[in-house]
């Protein structure tokens, strides 16, 4: 049975129970809940799944940023001699920074391009699993690559600063 009212379910439950008992004393009245409670309980598993996917997305973004940082830091360490030579020959720290950020952005661009291509190909295959969401959503296909590129730029900040501060004399002596 459903009752539409603006009053709270806790204040109406005794009244509803009394009226139903007046009609049929053997009719049990149980599980009195609001429609919001019913909807919330029916959507609980889907909300949990969505939150879990969100957590995994954040972890994946964190792993991508740590991976890009590690790759660029390793590259700066391996190319310290080259960076020292460039700086000894007059390269400005900004040029060295652009080289490192450009390398990171290039690698991220390849990954983003590949991901977009695969997503566009695979999206129609999961359309039967989606409800109320288009498989190819322009906003998502724009927002996700932008977020990834921002993460890459942030992850390349420390290796870029490290590369721009390479002392040419020390870098040339170490080789």
**Is 38 contained in some domain?**
no
Residues 118 and 79 placed together within one structural domain of the fold: yes
Residues 166 and 95 placed together within one structural domain of the fold: yes
pTM: 0.68
DSSP string, the chain: -----SS-HHHHHHHHHHHHHHH-TTS-------HHHHHHHHHHHHHHHHHHHHHHHHHHHHHHHHHHHHHHHHHHHHTHHHHHHHHHTT--HHHHHHHHHHHHHHHHHHHHHHHHHHHHHHGGGGGGG-SSS-SS-HHHHHHHHHHHHHHHHHHTHHHHHHHHT--HHHHHHH-
User: Does the pLDDT value for residue 168 go beyond 90?
Assistant: no
**Is 98 contained in some domain?**
yes
Residues 13 and 66 placed together within one structural domain of the fold: no
Residues 13 and 73 placed together within one structural domain of the fold: no
Q: Which domain holds residue 132?
A: 45-174
**Is 76 contained in some domain?**
yes
The CA dihedral of 92, 93, 98, 100, to the nearest 10 degrees, is: 130
Instruction: List, for residues 29-70, the tens digit of each pLDDT value.
Output: 777 777 888 888 888 888 999 899 999 999 999 998 899 899
**Is 95 contained in some domain?**
yes
> At which residue do the structure tokens 């809940």 appear?
33
Instruction: List, for residues 110-154, the tens digit of each pLDDT value.
Output: 999 999 999 889 888 888 877 777 888 889 889 989 998 898 888
**Is 39 contained in some domain?**
no
Residues 25 and 89 placed together within one structural domain of the fold: no
Average pLDDT of the chain is 86
Residues 77 and 18 placed together within one structural domain of the fold: no
Q: Domain total for the chain? A: 2
- Residue 171: how many CB atoms within 10 A of its CB? 19
């Amino acid at each position: 049975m459903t009752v539409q009212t603006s009053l709270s379910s806790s204040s109406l439950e005794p009244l509803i129970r009394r009226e139903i008992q007046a009609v049929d004393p053997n009719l049990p009245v149980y599980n009195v809940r609001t429609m919001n409670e019913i909807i919330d309980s029916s959507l609980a598993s889907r909300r949990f799944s969505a939150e879990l996917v969100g957590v995994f997305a954040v972890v994946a973004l964190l792993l991508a940023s740590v991976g890009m940082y590690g790759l660029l830091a390793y590259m700066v360490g391996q190319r310290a001699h080259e960076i020292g030579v460039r700086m000894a020959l007059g390269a400005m720290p900004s040029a060295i920074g652009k080289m490192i950020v450009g390398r990171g952005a290039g690698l991220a661009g390849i990954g983003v391009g590949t991901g977009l291509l695969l997503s566009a190909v695979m999206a129609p295959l999961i359309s039967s699993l989606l409800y109320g969401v288009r498989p190819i959503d322009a906003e998502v296909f724009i927002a996700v690559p932008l977020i990834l590129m921002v993460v890459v730029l942030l992850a390349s900040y420390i290796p870029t600063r490290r590369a721009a501060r390479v002392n040419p004399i020390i870098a040339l002596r170490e080789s």
